[in-house]
Structure 1
């Protein structure tokens, strides 16, 4: 299923070190790091969170713990004029697919009061997801999430980010 392939995206980077943000700002308390999420997709199997990129948004991102990198749609990359990361090569691998991906740099990404600066990301075509009736602007991947302690409160439909 192509939906599964997109959500299981993994990126391998060659050259120029790792894919973590240069700086992160964790919310001072878990309460300040709380963000409401919404369910989407067939059978409400996708968690969407509101993300701000370079102080613009909110954009709807899938909370994707299976994605190594945070990714934006090609449309968002173009709209925000995200610069391509020259000298780095990205390869996306998912269920039944492998291919080259374009790497871009996000100056700042904010989810609630959690923020990351100089975050490597990829630009993807997510039109197949959107054809399923879900407006998705990107995938929030591990290179953002692993900088924080992440809790998901399913009963309250809240994502809580705090200092790791």
Structure 2
């Protein structure tokens, strides 16, 4: 017998595929400095789900002391990415002579890279990191504006636990 997949499962799968593929092939520069919370309580961050069937996990992010901004937690993105209008509003400085190669969302191409002095999620911080700038309008399907993607160049600095019962992300030192 052939199993029939309901249309909403297919839509969720496609949305997750878009998110996961968004920058899987992006190249990054030097590692960033990490400032992690001293205890686990300080590392707890509330998150919310968005999109069809709660397909995306949104976390509040502060960039260079501004925010919070809604970022999709994206373990498939090598780089953290900032939506182009948000990057312009924050006047994030482009890294001169630096461009990344991005693969995802059905296409490959070059992306502009910017310098982020400080990116904070709750009390977990990474200083001096590179981010890419993308047009994230295709995420309108989520039903809420998206300011960026929180990628591995931030997440790899921490042990990450997702508590879906409490809608809490826990970031602690590895």
Query: Fold-level match, TM-score > 0.5?
Result: yes
Ranges in structure 1 where 5+ consecutive residues have no aligned partner: none
Following the alignment from structure 2 to structure 1, what is the Cα–Cα distance between the partners of residues 53 and 90? Answer: 32
Structure 2 length normalisation: TM-score? 0.86
Following the alignment from structure 2 to structure 1, what is the Cα–Cα distance between the partners of residues 105 and 59? Answer: 24
- Aligned-residue RMSD, C-alpha: 1.7
Larger Rg: 2
Aligned residues of 1:39 and 1:46 also touching (Cα < 8 A): yes
Deviations 1:51-108 (A, max 9, x none): 0000000000000000000000001110000011122221111252111111111110
Structure 1 length normalisation: TM-score? 0.91
Ranges in structure 2 where 5+ consecutive residues have no aligned partner: 1-13
Classify 1:3/1:161 alpha carbon distance in 2 versus 1 (closer, same or farther; 3 Å). Answer: closer
How many residues end up aligned between the 2 structures?
160
* TM-fit CA distance, 1:128: 1.4
Corresponding residue to 2:117 among 82, 104, 107: 107
Q: Which has the higher contact order (CA 8 A, sep 6+)?
A: 1
> Where do 1:14-25 residues align within 5 Å?
17-18=29-30, 20-21=31-32, 23-25=33-35
Classify 1:6/1:13 alpha carbon distance in 2 versus 1 (closer, same or farther; 3 Å). Answer: same
Following the alignment from structure 2 to structure 1, what is the Cα–Cα distance between the partners of residues 100 and 21? Answer: 15
Classify 1:62/1:132 alpha carbon distance in 2 versus 1 (closer, same or farther; 3 Å). Answer: closer
